[in-house]
Amino acid sequence: MAKDRVQPLKLEDTGTGSEIDLFPTALDRNEDYVDCKGIVVQDTNSDDETTFIERDESGNLTFVDGVAGTYTLDQLSTGGSGISAEGHKILRQLIHFIDNGPAEGFATGAYREITGTAFPTAIIWYDKAGAGKVKIVSKEISWTGVLASPIVWKVYDAAEALIATVTDTVSYTGVFETSRTRAIVIE
Distance CA 43, CA 47 (A): 8
Cis amide leading into 24 (omega within 30): no
**Per residue in 124-140, pLDDT tens?**
999 899 999 999 889 99
- Residues pairing with 64 in the sheet: 52, 70
8 A C-beta contact, residue 72 and residue 56: yes
Over the chain (187 residues), the average pLDDT of each successive run of 10 is 78 72 81 83 86 88 85 71 56 62 72 92 93 92 96 89 90 96 85
| Nearest by Cα to 161 from 141, 130, 129, 186 | 186
Q: What is the pTM of this model?
A: 0.53
User: Strands 69-72, 111-115: parallel, antiparallel or unpaired by DSSP?
Assistant: unpaired
Q: Is 95 helix (H, G, I), strand (E, B) or coil?
A: helix
Q: Where are the beta strands (DSSP E) in 73-187?
A: 111-115, 122-126, 135-144, 147-156, 162-173, 176-186
Distance, CA of 106 to CA of 169 (rounded, Å): 29
DSSP class of 36: -
Kindly list the structural domains of the chain, giving each domain's residue range(s) and its CATH number in brackets, ordered by start: 9-77 (no CATH), 91-186 (2.40.128)
86: left (phi over 0), alpha (psi -120 to 50) or beta: alpha
**Structure confidence by residue, pLDDT tens digits, 78-109:** 565 555 655 555 555 666 665 666 666 667 88
- Kind and range of the H or E run holding 53: strand 52-55
